Amino acid sequence: LEIEMKERADVLQKYLKLHNQWLVETEQKYNVLFEASKTGLFYVQEDGTVFDLNTVAEEMLCLDKSAVINKPLIQIMPEHEWEKSEELIKNIFKDVLQFNADKVMEGFIVNSQGQEIPSEFCFRKIEKGAERQIVCMVRDISIMKQIEDQLIKSQKFEGLGVLVGGMVHNFKNIMTSIMGYVSLMRTMVTQDEKLCRYLNIVETSCTRASDLSREVLAVGKKQDSVKKIININSVIERSTVLFEDCTDKRFVVDKELDPALSRAECNESQVEQVVLNLLLNARDAMPDGGTLRIETKNV
């Protein structure tokens, strides 16, 4: 019996040694994963108290680990949301612990400089023996929020562009109708020079308004990538007319366009956009007004 007990004790010692070695290796692997994670990790007790966090979480908060451990999790959130967050997290913890369900919410964390960082919180249950704990994974979603805002703005501008395009199209139709009636009136008042002069002024104004609406539609339309042989001078002429009609009279455009300018292979709408951008940038550089000089020549 004594020999058998000794053999069994030796076996148990070997098993215990292997088990302890496995625990050490497991803990080392866990620590590597814990610190290598790109997500802020907060380990929280059932009562909402933080008992551990990784380096990423420290960097997000710009705080040392000791300043967070043994503090409620809600203290990493904005103070004006503590009351609401406390009730929300309490309900989340209840679901996570009772139903073993992962829960996700969006909110903010506050670093030591008082900066509020948009974040995503993911809560997951972990069991350590008889203890039940929760890991809170915090991810900075600032860039994602910026992209969402840019997308919303671009969609608004796209909708506004469609609306303005429709309005300009209707405006052009109205001008065409007025020009038609002006032509009819001219045939009726051929003997009255004064009325004819007025009708000519109306017709000229309608033509300019119609041309302006066409230019606005051309700028607002989607640009294709098709290139064709064009005269850059004609593009500049159209762009400057649009600029002069839509800007302050304190700005004068002085054009010196070479009539022998060689034709160029390019995207016409893109060149129009470039010329308009140059004109607008020059205008912004002269808040008190001035002369914008455009020259073309073969080089």
pLDDT at residue 293 greater than cutoff 60: yes
Determine the pLDDT at residue 32. 55
Distance CA 112, CA 293 (A): 54
Q: Evaluate whether 267 touches 224 at the Cβ level (below 8 Å).
A: yes
Question: What percent of the chain is modeled with pLDDT above 70?
Answer: 92
Q: What is the pLDDT of residues 213-265, one digit of tens each?
A: 776 776 666 555 678 899 999 989 988 887 887 777 888 999 999 999 999 99
Q: Is 67:47 a contact under the CB 8 Å cutoff?
A: no
So what's the pLDDT on residue 254?
92
pTM: 0.50
User: Cα(93)–Cα(96) distance, rounded to whole angstroms?
Assistant: 5
Query: What's the pLDDT score for residue 129?
Result: 67
pLDDT at 34: 53
pLDDT of residue 5: 86
Q: What is the pLDDT of residues 91-142, one digit of tens each?
A: 999 888 888 888 999 999 999 888 999 999 999 898 776 778 898 989 888 8
pLDDT (0 to 100) of residue 260: 94
The pLDDT tens digits of the residues spanning 22-32 come to 766 666 665 55
DSSP class of 276: H
| Cβ count near 116 (within 10 Å) | 15
pLDDT average, residue stretch 53-71: 89
Q: Taking all residues of the chain, what is their mean pLDDT, rounded to a whole number?
A: 84
Q: β-strands 116-128, 103-110: how paired?
A: antiparallel
**Partners of residue 128 on adjacent β-strands:** 131
Q: 276 phi and psi, to 5 degrees?
A: -60, -40
pLDDT bracket for residue 11 (50, 70, 90): confident
Collapsing DSSP states into helix, strand and coil, what is residue 118? Answer: strand
Residue 89 has pLDDT above 60, yes or no: yes
Q: Cα–Cα distances in Å, from 204 out to 81, 287, 293? A: 63, 31, 26
- C-alpha–C-alpha distance, residues 62 and 78, integer Å: 15
Note whether 92 and 102 are within 8 A (CB).
no
* CA distance readout (Å), 56 to 28, 206, 209, 292: 18, 65, 61, 54
CA angle 243, 230, 273 (to 5 degrees): 35
